[in-house]
Amino acid sequence: MQQTFTLRKFTPKDLERVMYINRVCLPENYGDYFFLDLHNRFPETFIVAEENGEIVGYVMCRIEVGLSNFGFSGFIKKGHVVSIAVMPEHRRKGIGKALVTRAMEGMRLYNAKQCFLEVRLTNTPAISLYEKLGFKVTKTIHGYYSDGEDAYVMSREL
């Protein structure tokens, strides 16, 4: 099938729409400052997907310094996918995969060596997407979410 969406970097004009998509798609919601701060610090990894001039998905990330999620190679820069969502009627068209792939390119520009994220153990669509992109479960965090659900940390090298 032909690709019908395009990717571009987030701009502050997109804030309301991205916050709307976040509220529709995920129980983890944030104030406007949270989104704008991630954009100010890491513009290369805050990406939106558009279809017919309308934003239908986003990914936003943070670059962190921490211990390697694989083995014992010490402190490194890691790209953390903080939040990703695609509007329900636009799913299974490759948008999520394209968003994460583009965010990982941005992470490399910041010299990140690994990429990781947290995901609910029951979130099969998201886990499948990350597995398809080469992520592996590297840790389980018990009670990570505010409703008590556990999270997998999934990671891959960049």
Q: Does 126 bind Zn ion (CB under 5 A)?
A: no
| Closest separation in Å from C-beta 96 to ligand ACO | 3
Degrees to nearest 5, angle at CA 143 with 116 and 128: 40
Task: Choose the contact partner of 83 out of ligand ACO, Zn ion, none; CB within 5 to 8 A by kind.
Answer: ligand ACO
Q: Which two tokens stand for residue 79?
A: 């790209």
| Closest separation in Å from C-beta 32 to ligand ACO | 18
Is-contact 86 51, C-beta < 8 A? no
List residues binding ligand ACO (CB under 6 A).
25-26, 81, 83-86, 91-97, 117-119, 123-126, 128-129, 132
Residue least distant from ligand ACO (Cβ): 96
Q: What contacts 115, CB < 8 A, 6 or more positions away?
A: 78, 79, 80, 81, 103, 104, 107, 135, 155, 156, 158
Task: Choose the contact partner of 49 out of ligand ACO, Zn ion, none; CB within 5 to 8 A by kind.
Answer: none
**What phi and psi, each to the nearest 5 degrees, are found at residue 58?**
-150, 160
Q: Does 118 bind Zn ion (CB under 5 A)?
A: yes
Q: Which of 58, 75, 83, 60 is nearest to 7 (CA)?
A: 58
| Closest separation in Å from C-beta 81 to Zn ion | 7
Residue least distant from Zn ion (Cβ): 118
- Residues in the site for Zn ion, rule: CB under 5 A? 118
